Each structure stands twice: as structure tokens, then as C-alpha cells.
Amino acid sequence: AEMHYLKDYRPFDFELKSTGLDVSIHGTFVDVTARLVMERRQDGDVQAPLFLHGEDLEILGIWLDGRLLAPREFLQDGQGVTFFDVPVSFELVTKVRIFPDTNTALEGLYRAGSMLCTQCEAEGFRKITFYPDRPDVMAPFHVRIEADRSLFPVLLSNGNPVKNETLPGNRHAVCWEDPFPKPSYLFALVAGDLACQKDFFRTADGRDVQLAIYTEHENANQCEHAMVSLKKAMTWDEDVFGLSYDLDMYMIVATNDFNMGAMENKGLNIFNSKYVLARPETATDGDFEGIESVIAHEYFHNWTGNRVTVKNWFQLSLKEGLTVFRDQQFTADMQSASVKRIQDVRSLRARQFPEDAGPMAHSVRPEAYLEMNNFYTATVYDKGAELIRMIHTLTGPENFRSGMDLYFARHDGKAVTCEDFVAAMEDASGADLSLFRLWYAQAGTPVLHVTTDWDEGKGRLTLHLRQDIPDTPGQKNKKPMVIPIRTAFFSRSGEQVLLDYRGKKDKEFLLVLRSKEESFVFDGVSLPVVPSLLRGFSAPVRLRIPLNTEELAVLLAWDSDPFNRWEAGRMLVERTFRQLVEDHRAGRSMVVPEDVIAAFQAVLENADQDPALAAEILNMPSEGELYHLLAAEKIAVNPLMVHEVREFFLDALARPLKTLWERTWYACRTQGAYVFRAADVSKRRLKNLSLFWLSRFPDTGFGWVERAAEEASCMTDRMAALQLAAHFHEEGSRRMLLDFEREFAQDALVMDKWFQVQALSRRENTLARVEELMGHPLFSMKNPNKVRALIGAFASGNPFRFHRKDGAGYAFLAERVLELDGLNPQVGSRMVSILNAWKTFEEPWRSEMKKALMHIRKKEGLSSDIREVVDRALA
Ligand code: B3K
Ligand code: ZN
């Protein structure tokens, strides 16, 4: 593999008129015949040879306009095949053999249990056949699939089924036609013995669409929630964006072996079964939420991604940022909007901010990649969604909708760029987004410094704003960005006050910072006010504003923006934590101030006003989140110290609230059958948060956990108790885990949870237990869900036990990465990225992490996925 650069982009010299595929499935191999009708583009290079991508393909024959080519008439290498002499228009037929059973990378065509399925994005289609495997080459597909009827009664591909054939030798074939021209990355094929749940959806203009969810037979009864979610998403997209589904059929296939969450192949989504299967006895509220949002995300791609696709992979955020924004808005409408926003920002800070500050930092529209799969990142997805959100804020909802309409009117059926999207928004809204475009090009998280000046005599308040954008690898001395800042002010007693800004009285203002420094002046400020800035997290920046405890307590209690209430709580915790860290380092005794405790106590006392928000506010930052906090302030991370200080803080906060937490636990018990609905979800969340706090008391803690486990009647409550139990050494803990294992040994998704809670255990022998669990009969390095549940959870979700001073955690991870390098480089690359933050740690952790990275780099023939990450981490 070689580096790809955005600046080198060139259109393809040929036009692909149509693609015909004939896929013949046999015992241990599959033969693929591709029929490509092509024409040389007159506006292209008329001398250019024809290059088709193709990897790991065994050539059975190549025909040009019906003539079998001799081997010297083309040139094959590891990347593909080149033809030096092709006519202006021609038909090229290739026949290749591939081996899905040995494909452990789960890219291209592979075996998943008894079924065969595909994953083509980003560049997997070239492992199926020779093809111009690039997103700007689009064609209508005609696919014929042939297989044994007993082993593979169900044969699926994109579009509409047009023909069935019965063949000799118990074989059969099905033909599919997808009339919408599409790039190869949206191709899909599934063959298997699958159960099918059917339903239908009537579109706004009265067409009936067949909906079908395919699963293994034993899971057929677990699709209801996914089906309901799909119909909700279809309705929402019609209501909010005026977008209806376009084919006669919408199919979803659930598979246990999948590298990520799901894939939006045209008309035939393929899903990790984790995001399809659910019932109350086996799925948690989190699972139900995840399914609803991933089903919606893949469905929304039908317009943002499929109908309008990307010109090249540098434009990935065109479809991913936009589709994440759309699924966020959907979830906000279906569930609690404030909780959704809080959780999204929390994950942005936990995953994207560190990425933006680390060795893999890249802009939302990256400039270069070695392995495209490494750029399906929090930056492209989640920061990309924040960019769309800022455009939404800057233009306003009506203009944003007009911009979307214009975008589809201009680009339907085409492969376009992020620039095309911004231009449509600009043209439809009249807003000037010229400076805004920098967000797509500049990496790094801007730091926004705010100071206030109050002239009591004049009744004038001035906000001084300044932005700093940190240097990132390959990018220095950046230009100021456009930062939309939703702003309001509160009196000391919590009223939102009316102020004058540029002659206009209002309660909320949209300030837009466009230069390095700027001051904003407000009049009519006769009493002291507390500013509430960046409301709803209106820009993906780090806000630095010196507010004291009293001011933060005002916002925490009274801010009319729920997000900023939560944010005030965070600021309070973070300030307290930093103070404790200083005390700890200076050898002073640590004290958590009374007024900090009182502020959180007030939240808990009033929890019934908004239990969901209270649960978010009282859910304290994890150790991992605190690492990021220190790293952002250039304080080297000492995992032992963070652990000790955080435990001290939690204890100090827990003690005075004990009876309140007990009362809350009782108050949140729900009666009756499990229903996945917002009101119940937030009660369960607050109840299980109470349990977390109660479990911390040394004498009574485990008793609470056992009792909660006994009366748990849904998986949400069971998991909450089991996860806490897994930290304890009590015999009861061992028994709970054993009983759980026995009860669910048949259910792969539930067993993932069982592996995960043990990987997350705070017991000091957790590393040894994780190693032991790798030998469990249900564990497999070949199954990505299992790898994530055990190894991923341990290395990224259990920092205290992973970041061992002796480096044993790192050595363990390095061995797993090397193992994955040979099996599944995409998953391996995700795992090795956990070490990217090595420079932010104190010694000896820092050197031990580096050692693990160097050990991995030594391996010869390292996959490009893992090599790219390791090289950049060590650069
Ligand atoms: N587009 C896919 C992700 C493909 C990842 C390839 N390594 C899922 C999604 O974002 O909807
Ligand atoms: Zn997506």
C-alpha cells in the first residue's frame, strides 16, 4: 500500500456504463464473473491505460470484447491489473476465484457462521473482483447469485429481485437489479439459511415498501425493536427533511462477525447483530438506544451517502458527519434531547479531543492516508457532525432545510465533495461561510479563552474572547476559525436576564467570533451576572472561563439550557479535581470544599424534576476522562495518582449523600413489565446510578449490589448489578458470574457482556483473568465483538488495571495486536490506537507504552492498517 493524497485526485479516464456480476458459490471457493461495459471519456487522458483494482484474486480468465486475453496482454501486481491498449468503448469480462472461508479480515466476501456476506467500504470490493474500486465510479448493477439450495436458500443483493432459477444438482440462482447507479463500496451480497421478519412501510406519496430483517433462525424473535426503529426513522426523514425511500424493498441482515456497527449498502444493510437483536431479557436500555440510532443512521445514509455519495475518500465526512448529525437529531426527537446532547459531547471529548491532540490528528477532510480504514474516526464522524451543527446554528433551521433541498436538487445521483455541501448551504441561506470552511481543513481543537469586565457605573459588561488553535502534526500557525457562541446571562438568584447587545434587547445571543480576539459589549447590566457561554455546546472547542464555585452553582441549579447545567457540574468537578491533584502533589492533605458538595446535593434533592438530567450530572468523570483533562493542561498522567485522587473525591461526595442515595434508589424502582420508553429509561438510569454510589460504602456496599441483583427483572438492572459485583472479591460475586454464564452460554451477545464486565473489573488480578478468559470456549480472536468485549474493554475501559506500572498491560496488548495483524488488521488497528496517548503519561508508563509500540513495529510485513498508526505514534 502507498500514501494517497487529496492533492493528487484525478477523475477516472473511463466511464463505467454498467456492471454485471455472476457469483457462483461452491464448497470452498466462489467464482466471480464481472462484465464491465466501459467507454473512454473524451475529456480524460485518451492515452491512459486502464487500471482495475484487485487483491488476492486468482484469475480464471479475462476477455476483451469476447476475446480471451493472453497473460502478456495485461500486467498484474499486488494492487490490481493494467491494460495498456483498450478501444474507445469495450466490454471487459473477468473471471476470478476467491476463498471466503479463509478471509479472517472480514473485508470483501467472507464467511460468518453459516452465511456468506460482504463488507466493501472502503476498499473491499477489490477483494471480490477486478474493478475501478473508487467512489466516483458509479454504475447500475445486475447481479446473479448461484448456490446450493439447501445450504443457501436465501440469496440477496442490492435492489429488486428480478428472477429465480432452479438448476440441476440441487442448485438455484437469483438475479437482482439495482437501478440506482452506485459506487462499488455500496455493493452487498448475502447467502445463507436465514429467517426473515417482514413488514411494510407506506411512504408519504403512498408507495408500499417491503421491509425485511434477516437473521439466523434462533434469533428470529428478536427483531421487533429494530423493525419499529426502522419505521420511525423512515417517518422522521419524511417529516423533517422531506426524504422518502426509493426502492421497493429495504433489507437488513444481522451477522455475528462484523468489524464495526453496520453498513449502509444500497437497499441491503448489513448489521452487526449487536445493533439488531434485542428483547428485554437480554438487552439493556443502552442496547435498545444503540439499535434505534444505528438503524436510523444507516437508513439516513440512503440519501446522505448513497443517492449523493463521495467523490473520493478524503470527503468521507460529507456523508458521515452529515449522517451522524441527522441521527443525533433523530434520537433527540425520539428520546431526551438534553441527555443525547450531553452523551454526545462527553464522547466527543473522550474520543475526538484526544485524537485531535495526538499523533493521528487530522482535519475533518483529511489530506492523506495510507490505509483508508484508519480514517473512520471520531474526527471524521463526530467532529464532522459538529461542523454540520454549527452550520445549522449559523444559518438557522429553515435555511438549513433549504440548503439540504438545494444540495439534493444539485447533486442527486452524483459523487461530490464537502465543498459542494457548504456551497449549497451558502447559496440557499445567503450566509457567508467562506471563513467557516477552515473547519474542514484545520485539525486541532481550538481553545476559547473568555474574560469578563463589568463596569458597574455604566452598567456595561464586556466579554473578551480569544482563540488559540494548537499545532498538530504537519499543521502549524493556523488561522482563526469561525466560532458560534450561544450566550445568555443569569442573575445571582438564577433569573435569566434581559440585556442590550448592539441596541437589541434579548435573553440569548448568538455571538460569532471570527478573528483571533474580539470583545462583545452588553449594556443594561446593573447587577452582577453569570455568563452562560457556548450553550448546547455550540462549537467543538475547549472553553476556558474563570467562574468561581458560587457562579457555577448558579448555573448548575438554574441555567435554562440543560446542557449548560450539566457543563457547570463538570466544570465544578474538574476544578475540584485539579485542586486535589495539586494538594496531592504538594503533599498537602486533600479537602473537597463544602460548597461543592452542597451544589451536587441540591441536584440530587431535586432529581425528580428531571431524573434523566440529574443522572447525567451526578455521573462523575471516569479515570480515562480525567487523564484527558490533565493531558489537555499539559500535566503528565500518573494513573495511580488519578485513581487515588478520584477515589478520594468520590468518597467525599458519597458520604454526606448516603441517605439521599438510598431514598433515590427506592423512589426509582419501577413496577410492571419492562418497556423501552424515555420515562422508564431515566428512572432506571438514576436507580442504577444510586446503586453505584451505594456500592462504594465498605460495609454495606456488596449487600446493596446483591439485593439489586436479586430483584432485577430486566437486563438493564441485571447488568448494572453484575458490573458492580465484578469489582468485589466476595464469594457472592463469583457465584453471580457463574450463574450468569450458565444461563446465557447460548447467547453470543449476552456473553459479550459477561466477558466485558470481567474485563472492566477493578480487582487487581484482572489482567490475569482476561488472559484466562481468552481460553474460554466461547472466546475467539476471530470475532470482533469478542475482541472488543474482552481486550478492548480492558485496554480502553479499565485504565486503572490496564496502565500497570510494570507495563504488563501494554505487553499483553502488544501481543494481541500482533495476533490481530495476521487475522484482522482493521480491528488490530483500533486496538493499537489505545497506545497513541503514550506521550501524555509520566514515567515509567510512558516508556513502557513506547516499548510496546516499538515491539509491534519490529514485526516484518506489518499490515498497512497497524503500520500507519504505529509509525505516526512513534514519529
Ligand atoms: N459506512 C460504514 C462504515 C464503514 C467502515 C469501513 N471500515 C458505516 C457507517 O458509518 O454507517
Ligand atoms: Zn455512517
pLDDT tens digits along 501-513:
999 999 999 999 9
Model pLDDT, residue 364: 99
Helices then strands, each counted (H, E), the chain = 30, 33
The reply to whether 104 falls in a domain is: yes
**The overall pTM is greater than 0.90:** yes
Ligand 1 within 6 A of CB of 121? yes
Read off the amino acid at residue 830: R
Pocket test for ligand 1, best of 298, 376, 377, 824 (most atoms within 8 A of CB): 376
Model pLDDT, residue 432: 98
Q: Are residues 267 and 136 in the same domain?
A: yes
Model pLDDT, residue 45: 86
Query: Does the pLDDT at position 34 exceed 80?
Result: yes
The reply to whether 644 falls in a domain is: yes
Model pLDDT, residue 1: 77
Give the three cell numbers for residue 431.
450566509
Count of C-beta atoms within a 10 Å radius of residue 29: 14
Model pLDDT, residue 673: 93
Alpha carbon distances (Å) from 429 to 319, 423, 520? 21, 10, 25
The CATH number that applies at residue 518 is: 2.60.40.1840
pLDDT in tens, 768-805: 999 999 999 999 999 999 999 999 999 999 999 999 99
Alpha carbon distances (Å) from 90 to 39, 65, 137? 6, 6, 16
The CATH number that applies at residue 363 is: 1.10.390.10
Q: Is the distance from CB of 744 to CB of 779 less than 8 angstroms?
A: no
The reply to whether 69 falls in a domain is: yes
Measured from the alpha carbon of residue 135, the closest ligand is 1
Burial 367-385 (b: 16+ CB within 10 A, else e): eebbbbbbbbbbbbbbbbb
- Ligand 1 atom nearest 259 alpha carbon: 7
Read off the amino acid at residue 264: E
Q: What is the percentage of the chain residues whose pLDDT exceeds 90?
A: 99
Model pLDDT, residue 403: 99
Integer Cα distance of 302 and 312 in angstroms:
18
The CATH number that applies at residue 548 is: 1.25.50.10
* Residue ranges in 161-302 assigned as alpha helix (H): 224-241, 285-300
Count of C-beta atoms within a 10 Å radius of residue 589: 6
- Active-site residue 298, yes or no? yes
Pocket test for ligand 1, best of 119, 133, 263 (most atoms within 8 A of CB): 263
The reply to whether 80 falls in a domain is: yes
Q: Are residues 47 and 155 in the same domain?
A: yes
Give the three cell numbers for residue 654.
458519597
The reply to whether 130 falls in a domain is: yes
Query: Does the pLDDT at position 670 exceed 90?
Result: no
Ligand 1 within 6 A of CB of 373? yes
Pocket test for ligand 1, best of 121, 298, 304, 316 (most atoms within 8 A of CB): 121
Residues 6+ away with beta carbon under 8 Å from 457: none
The reply to whether 829 falls in a domain is: no
Q: Are residues 472 and 520 in the same domain?
A: yes
Ligand 1 within 6 A of CB of 376? yes
pLDDT in tens, 711-737: 999 999 999 999 999 999 999 999 999
Cross-strand pairs, 304: 308
Which of 872, 346, 840, 386 minimizes the C-alpha distance to 632?
Answer: 840
Give the three cell numbers for residue 416.
461530490
pLDDT band at 741 (very low <50, low <70, confident <90, very high): very high
Query: Does the pLDDT at position 672 exceed 90?
Result: no
Integer Cα distance of 264 and 270 in angstroms:
7
Alpha carbon distances (Å) from 64 to 93, 324, 370, 732? 6, 43, 32, 71
Q: Is the distance from CB of 194 to CB of 253 less than 8 angstroms?
A: yes
pLDDT band at 756 (very low <50, low <70, confident <90, very high): very high
Give the three cell numbers for residue 514.
471570527
Instruction: Taking residues 406-424, report their average pLDDT.
Output: 99
Mean pLDDT value across the chain: 98
Residues 6+ away with beta carbon under 8 Å from 79: 53, 54, 55
Give the three cell numbers for residue 281.
431479557
Ligand 2 center to residue 260 CA distance, Å? Answer: 11
Burial 408-446 (b: 16+ CB within 10 A, else e): beebeeebbbbebbbbbbbebbebebeebbebbebbbbb
pLDDT band at 215 (very low <50, low <70, confident <90, very high): very high
Q: Are residues 110 and 239 in the same domain?
A: yes
Instruction: Taking residues 266-288, report their average pLDDT.
Output: 98
Instruction: Taking residues 308-314, report their average pLDDT.
Output: 98
The reply to whether 87 falls in a domain is: yes
Integer Cα distance of 428 and 860 in angstroms:
53
Q: Is the distance from CB of 267 to CB of 250 less than 8 angstroms?
A: yes
Ligand 1 within 6 A of CB of 263? yes
Name the DSSP class of 27.
S
Q: Is the distance from CB of 362 to CB of 313 less than 8 angstroms?
A: no
Domain end residue (candidates: 694, 722, 747): 694
Structural domain span for residue 474:
447-539
Ligand 1 center to residue 381 CA distance, Å? Answer: 10
Is this prediction's ipTM beyond 0.90? Answer: yes
Q: Are residues 528 and 571 in the same domain?
A: no
pLDDT band at 562 (very low <50, low <70, confident <90, very high): very high
Model pLDDT, residue 704: 98
**How many domains would you assign to the chain?**
4
Ligand 2 center to residue 121 CA distance, Å? Answer: 11
Q: CA 504 from chain center: how many Å?
A: 41
Which residue, judged by its Cα, is nearest atom 9 of ligand 1? 263
The reply to whether 814 falls in a domain is: no
Query: Does the pLDDT at position 619 exceed 90?
Result: yes
Which residue, judged by its Cα, is nearest atom 10 of ligand 1? 320
Name the DSSP class of 64.
E
Q: Are residues 236 and 365 in the same domain?
A: no
Model pLDDT, residue 477: 97
Which of 538, 309, 541 minimizes the C-alpha distance to 421?
Answer: 309
- Ligand 1 atom nearest 373 alpha carbon: 7
Domain end residue (candidates: 426, 441, 456): 441
Which residue, judged by its Cα, is nearest atom 1 of ligand 1? 263
Query: Does the pLDDT at position 387 exceed 90?
Result: yes
Model pLDDT, residue 325: 99
Q: Are residues 363 and 278 in the same domain?
A: no
Ligand 1 within 6 A of CB of 106? no
Alpha carbon distances (Å) from 849 to 275, 472, 714, 812, 837? 33, 21, 40, 11, 9
pLDDT band at 671 (very low <50, low <70, confident <90, very high): confident
pLDDT in tens, 257-268: 999 999 999 999
Q: Are residues 178 and 258 in the same domain?
A: yes
Q: Are residues 513 and 620 in the same domain?
A: no
Q: Is the distance from CB of 309 to CB of 407 less than 8 angstroms?
A: no
Ligand 2 center to residue 480 CA distance, Å? Answer: 29
Integer Cα distance of 429 and 329 in angstroms:
20
Q: Are residues 58 and 197 in the same domain?
A: yes
Q: Are residues 519 and 611 in the same domain?
A: no
Integer Cα distance of 668 and 343 in angstroms:
21
Ligand 1 within 6 A of CB of 866? no
Domain end residue (candidates: 441, 460, 484): 441
Model pLDDT, residue 292: 98
Strand 460-468 relative to strand 517-523, pairing: antiparallel
Residues 6+ away with beta carbon under 8 Å from 862: 821, 856, 870
E-state strands within 328-459: 368-369, 415-416, 447-455
Q: Are residues 345 and 202 in the same domain?
A: no
Instruction: Taking residues 131-156, report their average pLDDT.
Output: 98
Catalytic hit among 146, 216, 264, 298: 298
Helix H or strand E segment including 645: helix 639-654
- Ligand 1 atom nearest 294 alpha carbon: 11
pLDDT in tens, 104-129: 999 999 999 999 999 999 999 999 99
The CATH number that applies at residue 54 is: 2.60.40.1730
E-state strands within 352-482: 368-369, 415-416, 447-455, 460-468
